[in-house]
Amino acid sequence: SDVDLTNVKMAMNPFCEIAVEEAVRLKERGVATEVVAVTIGPKAAQEQLRTALALGADRAVHIDTSAETDERVESLAVAKLLAKVVEEEQPGLVILGKQAIDTDNNQTGQMLAALAGLSQGTFASEVKLSGDEGDKTLQVTREIDGGLQTVELTLPAIVTTDLRLNEPRYAKLPDIMKAKKKPLVVTTPAELGVEVASKVTLLKVESPAERQGGIKVGSVDELVDKLKNEAKVL
């Protein structure tokens, strides 16, 4: 019926690791004053928050969905929950991974930008902050089909990370130990006033149909013959 996750050890999405790394680097450069990591999921998801804290985040927020649903929370519900966090925290910059690697969705950052009414720079491979304290702008180099595109955003803004933005560091043992003492606040979708029930029903999961191997033909006439008489597409 679906992928069996029994005894599977979860890990942070690689794109989100890049987002955490970029936020920590901004703080190390003196651009950011605080890094807050946020995740949405069951209690076990706190392990990923502790990883973010070990990598350099200052505190964490866990939106616990254990009592709400046994299923994966969909992108729109995630964006609505994050919008509530943005409303409460008032961050200068929100950095997310560009997509999930399980569902492969690439939606949450864009939905969050729309819900929060903030500018957005997606698929970021480079992020530069400029301007004085009261009037900072963000230049985001985006990886698009035609090459690279640079957009300038006013803060606060939403950025989603691509693979080439940075190389995430490894958490050191002392930092992992320190992470256990950093603040981690737990809230729920109900407390934030957001409904997370799934709007999509999984009907079935099946393997794709088997396909025959391809063949090489010696001439155009032979190709046309096979398309007409064997494949019957002509």
Average pLDDT of the segment spanning 24-32: 93
Is 48 part of a structural domain of the chain?
Answer: yes
Query: What would the pLDDT profile of 193-231 be if each residue is shown by its tens digit?
Result: 999 988 888 888 888 888 888 889 999 999 999 899 988
Q: How many CB atoms lie within 10 A of CB 71?
A: 14
pLDDT of residue 204: 87
Query: What would the pLDDT profile of 109-139 be if each residue is shown by its tens digit?
Result: 999 999 999 999 999 999 998 877 667 889 9
Beta strands in the chain (DSSP E): 36-41, 59-64, 93-97, 119-130, 137-144, 147-154, 157-161, 184-187
What residue type is assigned to position 87 of the chain?
A: E
Pairwise CA distance, residues 233 & 220, whole Å: 15
Residue 118 sits in a domain whose CATH number is 3.40.50.620
69-83, 84-98, 197-211: range with highest mean pLDDT: 84-98
Is 2 part of a structural domain of the chain?
Answer: no
- The reported pTM is 0.84
Alpha carbon distance, N-terminus to C-terminus of the chain: 38
Is 156 part of a structural domain of the chain?
Answer: no
Is 91 part of a structural domain of the chain?
Answer: yes
Average pLDDT of the segment spanning 158-185: 95
Sort 99 into a burial class: Cβ within 10 Å, 0-12 / 13-18 / 19+: buried
Owning domain of residue 110? 14-122+165-208
| Helix or strand holding residue 177 (H, E) | helix 173-179
Pairwise CA distance, residues 17 & 51, whole Å: 9
Is 136 part of a structural domain of the chain?
Answer: no
Give the total number of structural domains in the chain. 1
Q: What percent of the chain has pLDDT over 90?
A: 72
pLDDT of residue 69: 66
Is 157 part of a structural domain of the chain?
Answer: no
Is 113 part of a structural domain of the chain?
Answer: yes
Is 142 part of a structural domain of the chain?
Answer: no
